[in-house]
Structure 1
């Protein structure tokens, strides 16, 4: 379901003297809230300063599944491609039949970002944040970037096959699991709770002031149709928001190998152009 495959890894915590040169650190399962799911991993590069940008990762899984370990296998690649960045990998509470419906996940992303922003001095990083998500995580990334700028307005947002118009996603969904997941997240169907669907759709919150946006999608995605990214791109273009859309015609809901390498190269180029 995702562009990234997971693997096991271990990392220890370390500390640095506030006056000594910053060394690389990994802080795993740091709590940003009281729930056991409200945890994040922080990868801090050596030599960081108050100008060090932060890449925030949000995993997919249909809002009801998934884990930040989805990104474990690509953290080293991201560190190599973006050596001057700190990386924050976020978990959030998952929707289920007993609760944690929207806006639980949206609120968790806001709290995670507040936590990071509140600790920039201790971590020796800047408040310049870029958000990247896959699938459901891309939906949450876009929602944060366009809707919740009172918490932080990121420098850019990157979406891998993220849903953008939830009512359209539900009504045109051919994948029964994803339709169920959407209904579970929002708390009903678009016909029954249209206001909720409006509030959970990133495309509704795009303005001329929205942040630069990089969109990736597979042309054969049978879970999140490529039209979700195409329609968002059309609205971004209409409002003159800097954006790029990359469609891989032969790919589905996730990709690996040379295509994934190409995605990383395009991310680096996009950030150099729009973030610096």
Structure 2
């Protein structure tokens, strides 16, 4: 009986290996893939079937949480929606180290996003993906998405960036906050104020890195956002227009800071779908 069981296990293993080889280019989900040594330096990877290094574009998702909390699981609904709407994309939902108790202050989060992008780029052959990258972020994640897209062009320049209600100019956000807790948050995650370390605030503001060659940008914001004021998207839109960077700004009347109705989110993803088709096919 033991020999029979061992033979059966061997046969199943052999069959499984052959099946894996046969379906090597099928859809694949890889959870908690490490791009660094910290537990937060990880991502979930969603690879589509039929992918190739010449045809499969990449979308990177970055979660919010005020740079101090949240996880990539917060964007699982985004992943599910994007997999249905744009099934040809490889999706990478990343986490990053969080600023808390005086640890992992800016620019730790910026550095982690850069490291994650570099990791994904280095895996192009293994994952069978192209070098056509785009990035979507929500709130603090949108800030990080915009900052990376505008500030870095190596190893790959982002084809498009989508911001769900993201901060764009931190000095203005500190000095003209939509609520009194915003300056406290910014000081806690930077370890400074604009007065004590203006350079850090400037270097951490996507607004300051916009040039004529910046990535096409889609800005989505709610009119009643009391965490990140709509003016943060509006000033970025104006600067993008000034240097002729393709962009679209959508203001949703009555929308708060992510507490949007299903209809608003449905429209937002319609906008994203159209934007990706135009700038990141």
**Normalization by structure 1: what TM-score?**
0.92
1:167-215 per-residue CA deviation (whole Å, 9 max, x = no partner) reads: 1111111434332221122221111111111100000000001010000
| SS of 1:114 mapped into structure 2 | helix
Deviation at 1:20, TM superposition (A): 5.4
Paired position in structure 1 for 2:158: 154
Larger Rg belongs to: 2
Mapped partners of 1:158, 1:16: distance in 2? 35
Deviates further, 96-105 or 83-92: 96-105
Q: Is the CA contact (8 Å cut-off) linking 1:62 and 1:178 kept in structure 2?
A: no
Paired position in structure 1 for 2:116: 112
Q: Which runs of 5+ in 2 are unaligned?
A: 1-16
Deviation at 1:16, TM superposition (A): 4.8
Q: Is the CA contact (8 Å cut-off) linking 2:178 and 2:228 kept in structure 1?
A: no
Mapped partners of 1:220, 1:32: distance in 2? 37
Paired position in structure 2 for 1:126: 130
1:13-50 per-residue CA deviation (whole Å, 9 max, x = no partner) reads: x9953x75611110000000001110000000111111
Q: Is the CA contact (8 Å cut-off) linking 1:58 and 1:134 kept in structure 2?
A: yes
Mapped partners of 1:64, 1:181: distance in 2? 9
**Normalization by structure 2: what TM-score?**
0.90
CA RMSD, aligned part only? Answer: 1.5
Paired position in structure 2 for 1:11: none
1:163 aligned residue (156, 164, 167):
167
Q: Is the CA contact (8 Å cut-off) linking 1:63 and 1:181 kept in structure 2?
A: no
1:90 aligned residue (84, 87, 94):
94
Mapping of residues 219-234 of structure 1, within 5 Å: 219-234=223-238
Q: Which has the higher helix share?
A: 2
2:56 aligned residue (48, 52, 55):
52
Deviation at 1:76, TM superposition (A): 1.7
1:52-83 per-residue CA deviation (whole Å, 9 max, x = no partner) reads: 00110000000011100001123221101011
1:66 aligned residue (60, 63, 70):
70
Paired position in structure 2 for 1:7: none
1:241 aligned residue (224, 245, 254):
245
> Between Structure 1 and Structure 2, how many residues are aligned?
262
| SS of 2:220 mapped into structure 1 | strand
Mapped partners of 2:236, 2:20: distance in 1? 43
| SS of 2:46 mapped into structure 1 | strand
